[in-house]
Each structure stands twice: as C-alpha cells, then as structure tokens.
A and B are shown apart, each in its own frame.
Chain A
Amino acid sequence: MNHFTILVSRYDPDNEAAPHETQYELSNDGDLSVLDALRRIRQTYDGTLAFRESCGTGKCGSCAVEVDGKPALACQHLLSPGSHRISPLRSFPVIRDLTVDVGPYESRLKEVHPSLVAACADHESDRQAGAVLRDLALCTSCLICEVGCPVHEVAPERYQGPAIMTAISRWMADPRDGRDRVEDASKSGVDSCASCYRCSNSCSRGIDVFTSSVRFAREVELSKGYSGTATDRQMVETFREFGKLFAIKEAPLSVKYGSSQDNGATTGVFLGCMLDVRHQDWGEQLLKRLGESGMPFIVPEGQVCCGGPLLWKGRVREAKEAARKNLEVFKAAGVRRIVTACPGCKLTWTREYPHLLSEEALQSLPQVVDISEVVAAAKNAGHLSSKTVGYFPPCHTQGHDGKDSDPPGVLLRTLNEAGANYVQATLGECCGGMAASSDPQVARKLGSRVIERAVNAGLEVLVTTCPFCVENLSRAARALNAPLSVINMVEIV
C-alpha cells in the first residue's frame, strides 16, 4: 500500500485574498496518477476542488498542471509515494484552484494567424506531409512546453515560447501556406531560444518541439536569405577555417596529444571546442584524470566541433560535415566508446548524430559517456573543505524523465571526501549560454537568475559539468559582484 501526501494549491477568488496550500492524505495499491489523486481528493475531502480534465488518456491536453514545480499532464503523470505539490500553470490567471484562464495564450496565438493562408488555388494537401508537419500536427496546445520554457519565463516579451513557435512552424511546414511565417517567427523571438531542449523533453505528445518548431524555423530563415547575427556568422566562418567554434592560436590538445592511428585502446576522448581550444586547462585535467584511472585511451587527432551549436542555429549542412568528419576520425582510431566532458557534445553525438548520418555510418557510431560516468572520486577538492557548495544541472544533461537534475555520484563523493558542505538548491533549468550569441540580454537574464538563487541559497561555490554553463554563469557572477565562484567539475574530480 503506497501513501501519498498531496499539497494542492487552493484559491477561491470570491472568498479569499490569495492562494494557499491544503494538504490531503491518500493511500493506493499501485501507481497513482495526478488526475486520479485529484479525483479521489474531490470525492473524499472536498467536492468543490476545481481542475480541468476531458479525455483522461493524454490526447487532449486539457489537464496540464504543475507537479512539484514542473508542468505535466495530470492524467499521465504518475506520482511516486511520498509528498508532492500540485499547483496551477504559473503564468496564467487562476479562475479557481487549479483551473486557469488560457485566454491570454489564445490572444497571443491569434497574432500569428494559425490558419491556412492559401498561396494558390491548389489546396491539395501535400502528397506526403513531411516529417516536421506530421510531428507538429500532434500538438494539443497543452502549454506544458510554454510554462517550462526558461527563456519565455524570464523574457516573455523577447520570446513567445515554444507553443507559439509550434503554431507558426506547423504552417511554415505546410507547402500550401503563403504567409510570411519567417517574419512571424522572427517577431516571436525565434533567435532568442537557448536551445535547451526542455520543450522536447517535456512534450506530452512526444513531439521533438525544439527540432520541429524552433530549429526548423531557423533553417527556413537561413534558406530565405537571413544570415544570422554577426556572432553567428563569425561562428560559421571560424568553423569553416578551423573546424572549431573558436579560432585556433596555439595547438589544440587533440593535436598536442593526438594520435591518428589505432593504438589498440577502444576508448577515445572527444574534447569538444571548449576543452580542446578555449579552456585547455580543463582539457588537460580531463586527460590527466583518465590517465590516473589506468584506462587505456586515445585522443584521435583531426576531431572537429561536434556540430551541436551549428545545428541548433539551423546550420544543418555544417553540422552534417562535422558529424561525418568526427565519425571518420574516431572510426579510424578504432574507438568504440567516447568519453567527453561537455553535455552539449554528448547530447549531439547521442541524440542528433543518428539524424545527421547515413544508416551505414551509424553502424560504427560509438557509445558516448560523460567523464563523471568513468572516474572514481578524487582527492582534488581539498580547497573546498567546509565551503557551502551547490550543483547546477546543465540543460543538456536533462532527459525525458526529469530525474537528471541530481549531481553525479562522483561529484558528491568528492565533495564529501573534501569535507565540503553540499547543499541542494533549485537554481533553474538553463544558464542561457546557448542564447548568448544571438540574444545576449536573454543570456544575461537567465545567468543572473541562477546566480541570484545560488547566493540566496547560501552557496559559496557552484559546480557544474558544462563548460558553456561555467562561462556564462561566471560572467553573470562577475556582473553581479556575487560572492560566489563557479567551477567546472572536471577541475576537482
């Protein structure tokens, strides 16, 4: 028998000044969905508990609420035994209890004309509706992606959010439509999205929202002659010249330590632009730790940028080139498992390479793991003894089940060894790093929010595993003069 303590946000605007939480206790044999819990509470404790539902099977999107601060469909989300909070979708006016007014969303949707504007007299729907259109046709406007979008949350005036982008891209992808949807996308702030994938991970219909709505719109923008911001253009030129996102001034580590021949080791190191070029100290640290672990490895020479940041900006051609080159280099080196210390690189290799490479090429796609999965705890963190330390989960480490916000085990063990005081804190879902090149304002807002929360939580040190997060958060901490240092896990582990 499982026990549940459910704290539900209650609010009766006719008789109360503000929402408050009421606690209810339930027991159940087996799984309990949020909707079943709410129905039981209504049946047993208070028949006036207001919440939305319709199909009850995940198809209509009516029942979205926030569960422990994360938006989800009540009918599909299963509660683990223990304590949970259920609250209404945060960005909408509450009518009563958990029922919100989605009118504000409908008004914004109207602005992007979510209806066919016929380009010509032939209205025949596409012979074979493309993959993007098929994906987006599933959207029910449940608004989970909008409520969960960090950029839309901190800067709604700059970015309309993934739900609006989905409505725009659904018509952009429809060959019959003649309206300038690129203009709509641009006005809606498509360039401000931080490519964090949160929308894709949380979509109640399993739509790859980021890829089909945002990235697709960026690709179409480029194909229509838009050239991107100056920083984006520079990134592409640098890639063309150096195969990396940063200009190479001294030898990259993959050249210094690189080998272009199979040395028998099946583990290969993918350094990524940050560790190979820009922050070689982190790269050196990574290689040193691998050496200490006693595991044979190779650093294939000739590796290029993973292609992720290029892909996310819609530059699919360049991303494919990067993917092909990397696979070639790692295959020639006999690598079957890749170790990396950049979540963005890991995400690109595991999630995107299968879409960028041919079926044949995919036969030799190596397994990819993060450094935290292969090293044991270290004794490098002595300087953190008795400091209050927290962890920021990079957006690209998050998957569909939302459990990836926990710090890696090896980090906790290292901090424990060092006598540091680890404190769990909810800091946000995105540092804003990937928005920096096209919307620095958004990047600043997101970064500042994390730092402010970290300081409020009493943290003196913030550890994270993504080099871009370290950069963006360090910048934010400096700008705020915050008494907080941001470090890369690879420095201490």
Chain B
Amino acid sequence: MAVVRQVDVLVVGSGVAGLYAATRCAQQGLSVAVLDKGLAGRSSASYSAKGMAVFGPWSVKEDSEEQHVDDTLKSGRYVNDPRLVEAMVKGAAGGILGLESMGMLFDRNPDTGNLALHGKAAGHAWPRDIGFSDITGKLLVDTLLSQARMLGVSVLSDHLALDMALGAEGVKGCFVLDMDAGEVVAIEASVVVMATGGIGDLYPLTSNAVQNTGDGIAIAMRAGATVKDMEFVQFYPATVVYPPVLRGVNTNSIGLGAQLLNSAKERFMSRLEPEKLEQVTRDRLSQCIYLEIMEGRGTENGGVYLDATSIPREKYKAHFPSEWRLAEHAGLDLGKDVVEVAPGAHYYMGGIEIGPDGSTDVPGLLALGECASGVHGANRLANNSLTDVLSFGKIGGDSAVAVARRRSRGSIGAREVNEAEERIRRRLGGSAVAGAAIAGRMKQQVRDVMGQYVGVVREARGLATGERLMNELSRAASEVTVSGGMRCNPELLRALEVQNMTLVAGAIIKGATLRKESRGSQYRTDFPGEDAAWQRNIRIRYMRDSGEIVADAGTAAPAAGGEKT
C-alpha cells in the first residue's frame, strides 16, 4: 500500500537550522513536517554547541558588523561567498529578540541589562560570544522544538530520508523510510529544506552525533544539485579519545592554558611552535598533534595527553560547568586527571551550494546550516556555527514560505512509491551468515579510509589510495544485502548510510586531490603553502547516468580583493 502524505514544506533534519526554518514556516501558516533519522531534537551536533558569535547592542564599541564579516572571510581564507557571510552576520542580531519571545534564555550582564559577552574566541577581533551558560545550542533546539510542536509542525523521529522525488519541474517531495513502522512512505511537498548537518561520522573520531553521515548532501547530489568546497573538513584539535565514556567530547581547556604532552610526557608544542605553543590556530594545532601521533609519539589509544591540572578548578568550572559535571559523572576530576585527545572531525565547511536565500540549483530544494556550503570558506571561525544556523534558519524559513507560495506541489504516484520501497526491499534477504554486521563493518571501513588518507594531513599518493578504496566500498555498498527486516534495523540503516557516505567521501577526496595547495583546514604535505591561484572554489556534481563525480575548479573565488598571502 503506497503511503503518500502532503505538506507545504518538508524539512529534513531537526537541528537548529531545520527547526528554526520549520517554525518560521508554521508561524506564517504553512503545513510543515520535520524528519529526523534519530530522536527529533536530540540527534544533531547543534545540541552540543556552546555559544554563538553575534554583533549587536551588547558588543564593545570598537566592534562592527563589517569587522565580523572580515574576521569570517579571513578565517575562511577568502574562498567564502561574501554574500552569504554578509547575510549571516547581518541576519543574526535580529533573530535574538524573536528567539527570546519563544522562550530562549540568554545570559545577561546584570549592570547593563544587555546580553553578556562570554569572551573573545580565537580569530575574532573583539568579544562576540553570547549564549546561555555552555548549553546555548541545546536550549535553542529545545526552544524551537517546543515552539514547532505548539505550532502544529509534524515532528517525525526515526524517519530516514532516502531520496527526493523529482519531476520535470524539480522537487516533488521525498521518499522516506519510517523505521518505526518499517515502511517506505512518500511525502509530497512544495519545498524540501535540507538541514542534515555535517559529515563527522565519516571519520573514526568525531564530536558529531552518530547520525551525521552527510545524508542530505548525498541526496542533493543524486538529485543533481551542485556541491562545493567538499575538501574542507574542520578538525577540532583536542577531542577526547580516552576514557571511552568521554570519547568524542571536545575539550576546552587549551583556551584556559592546558598543555599537551606526548607519550614521553614531553610538551611537544615547545618544539613545533616555540612562540605560541598550544595557542596557535586550531588548524595548525590539529596538524601538530596529528603529526606527533603519526610519527609514533602518541599514546596507546592513539592520542596525546591533555594536562589541565594547572588551571584553577574554579576557573574551569565557571567557564565550562556542564563539561565539568559530565567529567565528574564519569568519575573524572578535570582538575587532577589527565585525558587523552586527538584531532576529531568537528565541522564541515563543504556541502550543497546555496544562494543568499538558501536556494540550490534544483528547483524546490533549499539547503541550510552545516549541510550547505559557502558561508565559512576553507575554515570556520569559532562560534560562527550557531550564528550560521540562526541567520539561515530564519532566512531559509522565510525563503521556503515564498517558494511554497509560488510553486505548486507535485504529485508522487503509487508506482513511484512502490518502486522506492522495492529499492529498499532488495537490500534485505540476508547474508550468508545470519545476523552478520556486514553493513556495520562497511561503515567502519569507510571511516578508517577517511581517517587514514583524507584526514588532517593529506598528500597525493594517500589520496589516490583513498580514492581507490572508496570506489571499491561504493561498489560493495550498492550491492550489499543485509539481515533483518524493514523495521528498526540498524543493518539496513547502515547499508543506506554507507551509500551516502561513499558518495560524499568520493567528492571530498576529489576536491582534496584537485586542490594542490594548503588552505584553511586542508593541509597537504606535498603542497604545504597557500597558493593565490587557488583562491577559488571547486564545484562537484554527481552524474546519475554514469555514476561519476565530475569536478569544476572554476575561476577565482568571489572574495578576491581580500588579503593576499
């Protein structure tokens, strides 16, 4: 029985970007559904975000929107799309009041009554960090999710978007696997908003949620959308690898003065960066730690020691109260115990190419937040992620309303739905060994290849090997059949995820290989310097007929005129 539902706007992903867009649409009278492949409102990286950078009436008088734009472009190494940067910076402050009226909490300065500035993050000329304690992202999600539900948005957990349904005029909606019911449904929509976040789970160590496998980017690619800046993966230098219960947590103590020690307990940064030590930029720090580990001076768990014992306890607790509590709960005293860290995949600058209104080159498809590209260029400035989703959530929501009002909703026929369901059913039928975690193992293999060949440090031979291995995995993924049924089956989910992951990974490797330079988060030992000739973006498209990934390395990036190196 083909199940087809109708909404005006279908949002894929329930992080801040998706929920904010959904809320805006619902506030303006449209019918909206939000999908999440996990528990809605709890399966995004937004949930762990600590603060956001916003220029506003609370800022220091020397600061300005222009400064924030400049800092963002500089961090992005001038391959950002300046229109998107302007839209992000200028759209943020206006959203704050609206969020408060929905119930969002912000820390305020008791003397001035203005929002409290939490500090000056690396790369920002002036303090811009606002939020609530260190749980700003969580509260944003909570607030927007409650609001969305109150406004009648249909919030669907355990729903995996499979592919978009396309017609002659563009997007008609999406085919979705309802993992609770164990069936494929089609949702017809005038607009599909992709807000699926980043790709952290493509790597063995990440601060992202396990759900972040780049599904939305892959779906957009299969629908013909152009993706851009795919090679730029930001690594957080000090992500916990040990103890296991804290694996994936991004530590914050370096900013407060913590030190890194190798397996010989040597403070290796005094050798690599004698002047700034651990206080270099995040990308440089990631490279140093990565190289130290690769050269054999890492711990047994594949990390280096992070020693925060010299930081006064009260200072640590005051700055990062929930991180302190988390560690306490795990039986750790961050003032005394030493954890092991390594660079973890943290943020994805690449993704679906968008215009300043969130539109893509597929009619009816918008993309917002981390799954879109162009805002952050080659390297995201600290705290700009929540700023991005705050601005584009609103812009995207309003844009979706406009598009929904002028586009008619296409119709998805029963035959199309049955075909979509058949494509899923063909994955079932088991393997030689009942219950074998075949797809699970493939996912791990994808992650191992990415970690080894497409990580913090890259070079031509490794990238070529990575490409070859990824092509093999991609072929295997398209043919694999798994045990179990349609309902709540992790093997089926993994098989579908691996298809998405190999497509995205292929594009990342392609971009990294073509870009013969180091810029921002891309570091190549065979091309260690920044090359002005590469101040441009690599666009990639997936050709459905041939199954090939085609790249276009274009002309100089629109940010030409910025600082030349």
A contact set with B: CB distance below 8 Å = 12-15, 31, 33, 36, 42-50, 52-62, 75-76, 78, 95-97, 99, 101-102, 110, 113-116, 118, 123-129, 133-134, 137-138, 140-141, 171, 174, 176-177, 204-206
CB distance from A426 to the nearest CB of B (A): 25
Contact B47 A55 (CB under 8 A): yes
Hey, what's the 0/1 contact readout for B26-57 against A, CB within 8 Å counting as 1?
00000000000011001100011000000000
Contact A206 B132 (CB under 8 A): no
Known: A14-B182, A55-B209, A56-B210. A125 touches B248 (CB 8 A): no
Complex: chain B residue closest to A124, CB-CB: B100
Chain B, range 428-483, C-beta contacts under 8 Å to A = 435-441, 482-483
CB distance from A174 to the nearest CB of B (A): 7
Contact A102 B39 (CB under 8 A): yes
Which of B158, B211, B322, B326 touches A54 (beta carbons < 8 Å)?
A: B211
Known: A59-B138, A206-B328. A101 touches B180 (CB 8 A): yes
CB distance from B104 to the nearest CB of A (A): 7
Contact B101 A123 (CB under 8 A): yes
Is residue B309 within 8 Å, beta carbon to beta carbon, of the partner chain? Answer: no
Contact A47 B438 (CB under 8 A): yes
The interface centre, meaning the residue of A49, A56, A118, A129 with most chain B CB atoms within 10 A of its CB, is: A56
- A62 partner residues in chain B, CB cutoff 8 A: 38-39, 42-43
Which of A46, A54, A206 touches B209 (beta carbons < 8 Å)?
A: A54
Contact B488 A60 (CB under 8 A): no
Complex: chain B residue closest to A121, CB-CB: B101
- B272 partner residues in chain A, CB cutoff 8 A: none
Contact B440 A42 (CB under 8 A): yes
Binds A, one of B118-126, B142-150, B403-411, B536-544: B142-150
CB distance from A16 to the nearest CB of B (A): 12
Complex: chain B residue closest to A53, CB-CB: B210
Chain B, range 159-189, C-beta contacts under 8 Å to A = 180, 182
- What 9 pairs between A and B have smallest CB-CB spacing? A47-B437, A116-B103, A48-B484, A96-B488, A46-B435, A123-B101, A115-B146, A47-B491, A60-B42
Is residue B319 within 8 Å, beta carbon to beta carbon, of the partner chain? Answer: no
Complex: chain B residue closest to A77, CB-CB: B245
- B158 partner residues in chain A, CB cutoff 8 A: 95
- The total number of A-B Cβ pairs within 8 Å is 167
Which of B39, B100, B487, B491 touches A14 (beta carbons < 8 Å)?
A: B487
Contact B435 A127 (CB under 8 A): no
Complex: chain A residue closest to B242, CB-CB: A30
Cα of A421 to Cα of B104 in the assembled complex, Å: 59
Which of B247, B328, B488 touches A50 (beta carbons < 8 Å)?
A: B488
Contact A137 B484 (CB under 8 A): no
Contact A129 B105 (CB under 8 A): yes
Contact A54 B42 (CB under 8 A): yes
Complex: chain A residue closest to B43, CB-CB: A54
Complex: chain A residue closest to B39, CB-CB: A62
Contact B110 A127 (CB under 8 A): yes
Contact B39 A129 (CB under 8 A): no
Cα of A13 to Cα of B489 in the assembled complex, Å: 12
Is residue B249 within 8 Å, beta carbon to beta carbon, of the partner chain? Answer: yes
Cα of A236 to Cα of B525 in the assembled complex, Å: 76
Which of A97, A127, A128, A205 touches B325 (beta carbons < 8 Å)?
A: A205
- B43 partner residues in chain A, CB cutoff 8 A: 54, 60, 62
Cα of A214 to Cα of B36 in the assembled complex, Å: 32
Contact A12 B485 (CB under 8 A): yes
Known: A48-B435, A125-B105. A57 touches B440 (CB 8 A): no
Contact B107 A116 (CB under 8 A): no
Contact B440 A55 (CB under 8 A): no
Contact A56 B248 (CB under 8 A): yes
- B100 partner residues in chain A, CB cutoff 8 A: 123-125
Contact A138 B330 (CB under 8 A): no
Chain B, range 169-222, C-beta contacts under 8 Å to A = 180, 182, 209-211
Known A43-B440, A57-B48, A78-B245; 20 more pairs at CB < 8 Å: A42-B440, A46-B435, A47-B437, A47-B438, A47-B439, A50-B489, A52-B39, A55-B47, A57-B245, A57-B249, A58-B326, A60-B48, A62-B39, A75-B245, A76-B329, A113-B150, A123-B101, A124-B108, A128-B110, A174-B105
Contact B246 A95 (CB under 8 A): no
- A78 partner residues in chain B, CB cutoff 8 A: 245
CB distance from B181 to the nearest CB of A (A): 9
Cα of A12 to Cα of B110 in the assembled complex, Å: 56
CB distance from B37 to the nearest CB of A (A): 10
Is residue B113 within 8 Å, beta carbon to beta carbon, of the partner chain? Answer: yes
CB distance from B339 to the nearest CB of A (A): 12
Which of B101, B106, B330, B435 touches A116 (beta carbons < 8 Å)?
A: B101
- A54 partner residues in chain B, CB cutoff 8 A: 38-39, 42-43, 47, 209-211
Which of B48, B108, B483 touches A59 (beta carbons < 8 Å)?
A: B48
Hey, what's the 0/1 contact readout for B325-356 against A, CB within 8 Å counting as 1?
11011100000000000000000000000000
Complex: chain B residue closest to A167, CB-CB: B146
- B139 partner residues in chain A, CB cutoff 8 A: 137
Known: A31-B244, A43-B440, A59-B47. A125 touches B38 (CB 8 A): no
CB distance from A270 to the nearest CB of B (A): 30
CB distance from B325 to the nearest CB of A (A): 5
CB distance from B96 to the nearest CB of A (A): 10
Is residue B133 within 8 Å, beta carbon to beta carbon, of the partner chain? Answer: yes
Is residue B1 within 8 Å, beta carbon to beta carbon, of the partner chain? Answer: no
Which of A47, A128, A134, A140 touches B108 (beta carbons < 8 Å)?
A: A128
- B244 partner residues in chain A, CB cutoff 8 A: 31, 33, 36
Cα of A76 to Cα of B248 in the assembled complex, Å: 13
- A118 partner residues in chain B, CB cutoff 8 A: 101
Contact B113 A124 (CB under 8 A): yes
Which of A49, A55, A134, A177 touches B490 (beta carbons < 8 Å)?
A: A49
- A13 partner residues in chain B, CB cutoff 8 A: 487
Is residue B135 within 8 Å, beta carbon to beta carbon, of the partner chain? Answer: yes
Cα of A140 to Cα of B142 in the assembled complex, Å: 9
Is residue B243 within 8 Å, beta carbon to beta carbon, of the partner chain? Answer: yes
Is residue B532 within 8 Å, beta carbon to beta carbon, of the partner chain? Answer: no
Ordered by A's residue number, 13 sampled pairs between the chains whose C-beta atoms are within 8 Å are: A31-B244, A47-B491, A52-B38, A60-B209, A95-B487, A96-B487, A96-B489, A101-B180, A102-B157, A137-B105, A140-B138, A141-B42, A176-B103
Contact B149 A110 (CB under 8 A): yes
CB distance from B489 to the nearest CB of A (A): 5
Complex: chain A residue closest to B430, CB-CB: A48
CB distance from B425 to the nearest CB of A (A): 14
Contact B329 A137 (CB under 8 A): no
Complex: chain B residue closest to A106, CB-CB: B149
- A124 partner residues in chain B, CB cutoff 8 A: 100, 108, 113
CB distance from A52 to the nearest CB of B (A): 7
Is residue B533 within 8 Å, beta carbon to beta carbon, of the partner chain? Answer: no
CB distance from B301 to the nearest CB of A (A): 10
Cα of A177 to Cα of B105 in the assembled complex, Å: 12
- A59 partner residues in chain B, CB cutoff 8 A: 47-48, 138, 322, 326
Contact A138 B105 (CB under 8 A): no
Contact A48 B490 (CB under 8 A): yes
Complex: chain B residue closest to A141, CB-CB: B42
Is residue B3 within 8 Å, beta carbon to beta carbon, of the partner chain? Answer: no
Contact A58 B329 (CB under 8 A): yes
Cα of A176 to Cα of B100 in the assembled complex, Å: 10
- A52 partner residues in chain B, CB cutoff 8 A: 38-39
- A57 partner residues in chain B, CB cutoff 8 A: 48, 245-249, 326
Is residue B102 within 8 Å, beta carbon to beta carbon, of the partner chain? Answer: yes
Contact B108 A125 (CB under 8 A): yes
Cα of A48 to Cα of B210 in the assembled complex, Å: 17
- B210 partner residues in chain A, CB cutoff 8 A: 53-56
Contact A127 B113 (CB under 8 A): yes
Cα of A230 to Cα of B132 in the assembled complex, Å: 42
- A138 partner residues in chain B, CB cutoff 8 A: 135, 322
Cα of A137 to Cα of B107 in the assembled complex, Å: 13
Known: A47-B439, A55-B47. A31 touches B243 (CB 8 A): yes
- A96 partner residues in chain B, CB cutoff 8 A: 487-489
- B211 partner residues in chain A, CB cutoff 8 A: 54
Cα of A134 to Cα of B439 in the assembled complex, Å: 42
